[in-house]
Amino acid sequence: MAALATLGRRTTKPGAAMTAADVRAVIEAGEQFDPAAGLAFRLAAITGARRSELCALVYRDLDGDWLAIDSSIAIERTGSVSDRQVPALVDAATKTGNQRVVRLDERTMQAVEALRAERERYGPWMLQPGERPLNPERLTGWWRLARRDAGIDTRWRLHDLRHRSATEAIGRGHDIRTVAARLGHANPAMTLRTYAHALDGADAGVAATLANALEEES
């Protein structure tokens, strides 16, 4: 792990990742009160998209099984605290300014297409019918409701679905550059610093493979 010191200062590492059972439970709980909620949670777990990026998705972002993630919804508030106004939702650049295209699995595609068949005629946004995108804060509200109904640990945040996506992909041996591209990280070194802990399991697998190869050659 000493080699990691050359990458610069360390960032805070996410703790233990959510289990697959937790993710399935919260997706199913979300589907019970709104299919868009279940889809949002599934997309977060599969693509690693941020909350604001999920809310910015429109159906035309989908091309076959490729999904473009190229914008995010920013919340702009006006008026005083005593004179609250409906916040403006602005379609802005992603957090890092990076545009990316990620591939979706068959089950996620089916979920998208089912919602599309039911709601696209009401507006372009993937997670909310109508001309106005879903407010990211409402998506967080969906998460809290689904988390409660699913009975999972209250420490888990919506953003932990993104962490789960990265940790699982790296732990299963997918290369850092590919994972970084799916997450929208500007530099794979950022991904490595943040998710270095996920390499432990993959490294054990490498050790076993090399040991087996050595025995086979003897």
Domain ranges of the chain: 17-217
Please say if the pLDDT value at position 136 is more than 70: yes
C-alpha to C-alpha distance for 120 and 127, rounded to whole angstroms: 10
- Based on C-alpha coordinates, what's the Rg of the chain? 19
Please say if the pLDDT value at position 6 is more than 70: no
Residue of 47, 92, 51 lying closest to 68 (CA atoms):
47
CATH architecture of residue range(s) 17-217 = Orthogonal Bundle (1.10)
According to the model, what pLDDT value does residue 168 have?
82
Where are the extended beta strands (E) located within 48-148?
Answer: 62-63, 66-69, 72-76, 88-92, 100-103
Residue 149 · residue 88 · CB < 8 Å: no
According to the model, what pLDDT value does residue 28 have?
97
This prediction has a pTM of 0.79
Q: Residue 151 carries which DSSP code? A: T
Write the single-letter amino acid at 196.
A
How many residues in total does the chain contain?
218
List the structure tokens of 179. Answer: 């994972």
Q: Residue 60 carries which DSSP code? A: G
Q: What are the tens digits of pLDDT across the range 62-111? A: 999 999 998 889 887 766 555 556 778 887 766 655 688 999 999 999 99
5 against 119, higher pLDDT: 119
